[in-house]
Amino acid sequence: MNSTLVLIQCNDQMGLVSRIAEVIFAQKLNIDSMREFVDESQSLFFARLECSGAESDEAFLCDELTKKLPGGAVVTVNPTSPKKIAVLVTKEYHCLGDILIRNFFQPKDIKVSCVIGNHTDLKSFTDGFSVPFYHISNKNKAREVFEKEMSEILEKYEPDYLVLAKFMQILSTEFVAKYANRIINIHHSFLPAFAGGRPYRQAFERGVKLIGATAHFVTQHLDEGPIITQQTIKIDHTYTVDEMVKAGQEVEKAVLNKAISLVSQDKVFTNGNKTIVFE
Amino acid sequence: MNSTLVLIQCNDQMGLVSRIAEVIFAQKLNIDSMREFVDESQSLFFARLECSGAESDEAFLCDELTKKLPGGAVVTVNPTSPKKIAVLVTKEYHCLGDILIRNFFQPKDIKVSCVIGNHTDLKSFTDGFSVPFYHISNKNKAREVFEKEMSEILEKYEPDYLVLAKFMQILSTEFVAKYANRIINIHHSFLPAFAGGRPYRQAFERGVKLIGATAHFVTQHLDEGPIITQQTIKIDHTYTVDEMVKAGQEVEKAVLNKAISLVSQDKVFTNGNKTIVFE
Amino acid sequence: MNSTLVLIQCNDQMGLVSRIAEVIFAQKLNIDSMREFVDESQSLFFARLECSGAESDEAFLCDELTKKLPGGAVVTVNPTSPKKIAVLVTKEYHCLGDILIRNFFQPKDIKVSCVIGNHTDLKSFTDGFSVPFYHISNKNKAREVFEKEMSEILEKYEPDYLVLAKFMQILSTEFVAKYANRIINIHHSFLPAFAGGRPYRQAFERGVKLIGATAHFVTQHLDEGPIITQQTIKIDHTYTVDEMVKAGQEVEKAVLNKAISLVSQDKVFTNGNKTIVFE
Amino acid sequence: MNSTLVLIQCNDQMGLVSRIAEVIFAQKLNIDSMREFVDESQSLFFARLECSGAESDEAFLCDELTKKLPGGAVVTVNPTSPKKIAVLVTKEYHCLGDILIRNFFQPKDIKVSCVIGNHTDLKSFTDGFSVPFYHISNKNKAREVFEKEMSEILEKYEPDYLVLAKFMQILSTEFVAKYANRIINIHHSFLPAFAGGRPYRQAFERGVKLIGATAHFVTQHLDEGPIITQQTIKIDHTYTVDEMVKAGQEVEKAVLNKAISLVSQDKVFTNGNKTIVFE
């Protein structure tokens, strides 16, 4: 038995589910799981279908669906898997460590193509996993030069996603545009609280009783892109900034792990500045 | 614009979604939200559809769906709402209080028909909400007599659900059978841990770091019916049994509230000893 | 066996715990539980001790402690209990309902002196609990007049705390100053995210995956006072603003309940714009 | 400024805190943080004090405290740090991976002396971290022989703690006795639910809505030792056993990480079959 994954995004219309189900049935596929969502304010339809049955002609199925759906529909049948991922880091190890371990033991989930660091701190660790590490310094360097150097490497690997695993640099609008909805960042606060720099220091000053982390797609507006998933943990008055950082790292790695897991299973659609997550 | 809710439970077959969607489309209804689940081990199909459109002929729609589905399909179009609820209590107020307040302010959610107590402790409180309270003592009384007295009252109100809001009595197999999958109990532990009596005492003795509550349908097997929802909270070594009870009450009322909310929106299907919850 | 609660706030010095413990021991009291915290940046010391033993001369114990502590120490022995609470409301019932039920069944926890509403929506409900309800309209009325009318009632009851249970009015600096660190507000977001008006609408627009609530002391700066406790729950893309509001209400009432519980047990100290909570 | 950590466990008596604080003050140490707990049913006293000040004579301080405390008091001043840890594994990588990364980047937290596996699956991974891996097969081998072979290795490293990171073997009473309260296990359920084998299968069959993990000290009674910390996550009807396993692994590694963190900071005392955790 083969399994076929179908992703659909199009304008909403009456009878869409019926048309989709009919095409799938005609291909002798059974719908094992179907999740759909209608954004009524935008009149947009999103669906994710897991089907099983005889081997399907992917191109034909895609074509048939597109024909039956409103103009401009985006239909994907059996998207690439595992996703190729390039990880961008600075000095902190916790998120990278979690990703590399997963890459090592769960090769069907993700495929880490390379790690790029603007510092060398994580080089030997990455080497230990036999994953290529590139040191691209941004010191005394214009951002466009820095980004050009990164782009050259990235073009070689053609990653599906860029994961900013505590990459403490701000990317240019031009760079971000090249990877629209394909750059995932982990921000160390429950956004929109404490956007920008030093969120744990901000949290300490404010005396909050929760800290958290947010995984989101990167857009040109810092810390304002579509949120994929976020989580909080309880803290109290005894936490210093350093203790918040340490406790926060556990949440950061869990949240980024979850986001990568969702994206690698094609469970996340972007819809303007929001996401639809078919968990 | 009218909204139509459709619930389906039947044997699984290829093409079910297609057939269902076709019937709904033919009635000029739009599917706003569709949730389905296939239990592959049992080959059972469950679905819940929220539709909108022209006013629908409920009986006709139900009929059309039934015709197109495998034999034995259970189809419900626009189930009763709000659900009529009879609440059974003993002495503890916290769950009842939450239900009565909701009943008072949110009459579209639920309709509490009556409260039955085997003690009188909660009578004046219930009276304050102008909800009929019946005191049926079980003292020095055979269980069948006690249950017969309750049944007489219940038959008068014909409730959709019985909610055991800290009702500290065990119901007979016969009584439970009359309300199959319609009796909701709140158990003061995260089942299956600490089934049976005095769960907080058991939790204290065991030195657990979490306590919780479970809302479940009642079956003839004590604390073993299908679980609707459950939740835990953190505790520590400083908690006495009494403090666990107090902290636990907050979880109990939240969990029972959630279960009633899910059931009153027809989001819960039972499937043998499990539930399917389309949250 | 009597129990004695001791609260201490003073400048930090070496040997404080030793001095405190010595005084308590001299009174033939046993320390059952001691929680202390030193804010090193401010060099401030906070402690809460639960003691048991022979009946203690409260005034003498307070005096002895004060003598041994640095100048300016604030020592409280056996603070008033239960706390008298005045509840201010507008139209929403959920937080008030929870408080009144607790007041009804747990008279040792809190004592609700009165409810003041700037609308009449919650009058009959409050009447049902035999708690005085005062309608003070703020319509077409200067804030100082509105607050003066409230103050007259409040002066009559001399409440220990004012609880803003979804009171949708902003209080003046003068009014707040009269009840410094004694006004508890429930804000319907996880502050500092979504301060100000319509937080659920803001949360919807931003596409967050968590919503929450924050209980805090009110200061002259809107939504910026010391946070007592806060909590979040998971939501997803299917939530409308109205559904967020409904889900949020459950968190709001749980968080406010928790804050009142902590405050009524004298477990909360304020420290500038932060709180110390000895949970 | 030096910091001094003091751990105390003794029979309870009136005035203990006073005596302890006096000794510490006499050593010109300041108490930065003090946590204590009295188990009233056993009349036992536990305390953990973080002090700062001039360099302290550890042996003298320990001696002075012991003299002032009831007979049989266990006093520890500045326990070993970082803790030496031997990790026992079978085939699953997720907990070991988390521990080795922490060991690599946070050498002040823990020191992994060696990894012992009854299978070779995790050898090359462990080698990559330059941590010695020993393969001790238990195949066709009496348990006493298997344990003797492990003991020989363990005696060489003299670890402070043994961590069973998904070690799927049951240890003998004799072996456990040698490391009383020093063997930490991660059990893949929220104990006491689903003790014993295949807890996710059990959870699936029961239809629970939560799964979890428990870190506990190992005693001779399987899955019944003192619980250090535990955590749950929400699941739903769509989870297969395999999906539960996968989701559960994230909780397992977080819970074991937390337990190791608490133990390595000497925040955990055992008290019969319970723990006292000064978080």
Q: What is the mean pLDDT of residues D98-126?
A: 96
Per CB-CB distance under 8 Å, the chain A contacts of D94 are 101, 105
Strand order in the sheet with A29-39: A74-77, A2-11, A44-53, A29-39, B29-39, B44-53, B2-11, B74-77
pTM given for the model: 0.96
Catalytic residue among D39, D223, D236, D266: D223
Most D CBs within 10 A among B39, B216, B221, B237, hence the mutation to make, goes to: B237
Q: Set out the domains of chain A in order of their start, with CATH numbers.
A: 2-77 (3.30.70.260), 83-277 (3.40.50.170)
One-letter identity of residue A82: P
Per CB-CB distance under 8 Å, the chain C contacts of B258 are 250
The per-residue pLDDT for C222 is 82
Q: What is the mean pLDDT of residues C106-120?
A: 96
pLDDT in tens, D27-39: 999 999 999 999 9
| Beta pairing, strands D44-53 & D29-39 | antiparallel
Nearest to D216 by CA among D264, D255, D172, D174: D255
Per CB-CB distance under 8 Å, the chain A contacts of D254 are 250, 254
Per CB-CB distance under 8 Å, the chain C contacts of A231 are 210
Give the separation between CA D224 and CA C64, rounded to whole angstroms: 48
SS3 A175: helix
Indicate yes or no: CB of D101 within 8 angstroms of CB of A101. Answer: yes
What is the count of residue pairs from B and C with beta carbons less than 8 Å apart? 37
Written in H, E and C, the secondary structure of B53-64 is ECCCCHHHHHHH
Catalytic residue among B109, B127, B223, B266: B223
The C-side interface with B (CB below 8 A) comprises 33, 93-94, 97-98, 101, 104-105, 125, 128-129, 238, 250, 254, 257-258
Name the pLDDT band for D95 (thresholds 50, 70, 90).
Answer: very high
Give the separation between CA D199 and CA D205, rounded to whole angstroms: 10
The per-residue pLDDT for D67 is 97
Nearest to A25 among B18, B31, B35 (CB): B18
Please give the ipTM for the structure prediction.
0.94
The whole-angstrom distance between C219's CA and the closest CA on chain B is 29
Most C CBs within 10 A among A38, A186, A205, A237, hence the mutation to make, goes to: A237
Find the distance separating the first CA and the last CA of chain A, reported in whole Å: 24
The per-residue pLDDT for B56 is 80
Nearest to C22 among D16, D18, D40 (CB): D18
The per-residue pLDDT for D197 is 87
Neighbouring CB atoms inside 10 A of D259's CB total 27
Indicate yes or no: CB of B206 within 8 angstroms of CB of D212. Answer: no
The per-residue pLDDT for B54 is 83
> Which residue in chain D has the smallest CA separation from A129?
D128
Nearest to B93 by CA among D140, A13, C104, C201: C104
The B-side interface with C (CB below 8 A) comprises 33, 93-94, 97-98, 101, 104-105, 125, 128-129, 238, 250, 254, 257-258
Indicate yes or no: CB of C104 within 8 angstroms of CB of B125. Answer: yes
The whole-angstrom distance between A42's CA and the closest CA on chain C is 13
State how far the alpha carbon of C237 is from the alpha carbons of A6, A14, A279, C241, in Å.
20, 21, 11, 11
pLDDT in tens, chain B (279 residues): 689 999 999 999 999 999 999 999 999 999 999 999 999 999 999 999 999 998 889 999 999 999 999 999 999 999 999 999 999 999 999 999 999 999 999 999 999 999 999 999 999 999 999 999 999 999 999 999 999 999 999 999 999 999 999 999 999 999 999 999 999 999 999 989 998 889 999 999 999 999 999 999 999 988 899 999 999 999 999 999 999 999 999 999 999 999 999 999 999 999 999 999 999
Give the separation between CA C54 and CA C24, rounded to whole angstroms: 11
Assess contact for C106 and C88: CB atoms under 8 A. no
| Beta pairing, strands A44-53 & A2-11 | antiparallel
Neighbours of chain A (3+ CB pairs under 8 A): B, C, D
Strand partners, A88: A116, A164
Nearest to A88 by CA among A128, A130, A138, A141: A138
Judged on CB neighbours under 10 Å (0-12, 13-18, 19+), D236 is middle
pLDDT in tens, C158-205: 999 999 999 999 999 999 999 999 999 999 999 899 988 899 999 999
SS3 A107: coil
What is the count of residue pairs from A and B with beta carbons less than 8 Å apart? 56
Neighbouring CB atoms inside 10 A of C227's CB total 25
Neighbouring CB atoms inside 10 A of B23's CB total 21
pLDDT in tens, B34-45: 999 999 999 999
SS3 A207: coil
Is the previous residue joined to A107 through a cis bond, with omega within 30 degrees of 0?
Answer: no
D27-32: long-range contacts at Cβ-Cβ below 8 A with a sequence spacing of 24 or more?
Answer: D27/D53, D27/D54, D27/D56, D27/D57, D27/D60, D27/D61, D27/D64, D28/C14, D28/D53, D28/D54, D29/D4, D29/D53, D29/D54, D29/D56, D29/D61, D30/C14, D30/C15, D31/C16, D31/C17, D31/C36, D32/C38, D32/C40, D32/D3
One-letter identity of residue C169: Q
Give the separation between CA A222 and CA D207, rounded to whole angstroms: 43
Indicate yes or no: CB of D128 within 8 angstroms of CB of A125. Answer: no
Nearest to C9 by CA among C79, C76, C83: C76
Q: Which helix (H) or strand (E) holds C240?
A: none
SS3 A128: coil
Per CB-CB distance under 8 Å, the chain C contacts of B254 are 250, 254
The whole-angstrom distance between B259's CA and the closest CA on chain C is 13
pLDDT in tens, D166-209: 999 999 999 999 999 999 999 999 989 998 889 999 999 999 99
The per-residue pLDDT for B2 is 84
Percent of chain C predicted with pLDDT > 90:
94
Query: What tokens does D117 get?
Result: 């596996």
The per-residue pLDDT for D56 is 80
Assess contact for D53 and D2: CB atoms under 8 A. yes
Assess contact for B263 and B161: CB atoms under 8 A. yes
Give the separation between CA C154 and CA C183, rounded to whole angstroms: 12
The whole-angstrom distance between B101's CA and the closest CA on chain C is 7
Neighbouring CB atoms inside 10 A of A184's CB total 25
Low-confidence stretches of chain A (pLDDT < 50) are none
Is residue D96 pLDDT above 90, yes or no?
yes
Nearest to C84 by CA among C179, C167, C172: C179
Nearest to D163 by CA among D87, D252, D93, D109: D87
Per CB-CB distance under 8 Å, the chain B contacts of D226 are 207
State the DSSP string of B133-194: EEE---TT--HHHHHHHHHHHHHHH--SEEEESS---PPPHHHHHHTTTTEEEEESSSTTTT
Neighbours of chain C (3+ CB pairs under 8 A): A, B, D
Name the pLDDT band for D5 (thresholds 50, 70, 90).
Answer: very high
Per CB-CB distance under 8 Å, the chain B contacts of A35 are 35
Give the separation between CA C21 and CA C18, rounded to whole angstroms: 5
Indicate yes or no: CB of B33 within 8 angstroms of CB of A31. Answer: no
Assess contact for B251 and B233: CB atoms under 8 A. yes
| Beta pairing, strands D161-164 & D83-89 | parallel
Query: What tokens does C77 get?
Result: 């022995």
The overall average pLDDT reported for chain C is 96
The per-residue pLDDT for C42 is 93
The per-residue pLDDT for C56 is 80
The per-residue pLDDT for D196 is 85
Written in H, E and C, the secondary structure of chain D is CEEEEEEEEEECCCCHHHHHHHHHHHCCEEEEEEEEEEECCCCEEEEEEEEEECCCCHHHHHHHHHHHCCCCCEEEECCCCCEEEEEEECCCCHHHHHHHHHHHHCCCCEEEEEEEECCCCCHHHHHCCCCCEEECCCCCCCHHHHHHHHHHHHHHHCCCEEEECCCCCCCCHHHHHHCCCCEEEEECCCCCCCCCCCHHHHHHHHCCCEEEEEEEECCCCCCCCCEEEEEEEECCCCCCHHHHHHHHHHHHHHHHHHHHHHHHCCCEEEECCEEEECC
Neighbouring CB atoms inside 10 A of C55's CB total 9
Q: Which helix (H) or strand (E) holds B24?
A: helix B16-26
State how far the alpha carbon of B99 is from the alpha carbons of B259, C98, C222, D192, in Å.
11, 11, 33, 31
Is the previous residue joined to C192 through a cis bond, with omega within 30 degrees of 0?
Answer: yes
Per CB-CB distance under 8 Å, the chain D contacts of B193 are 190-193
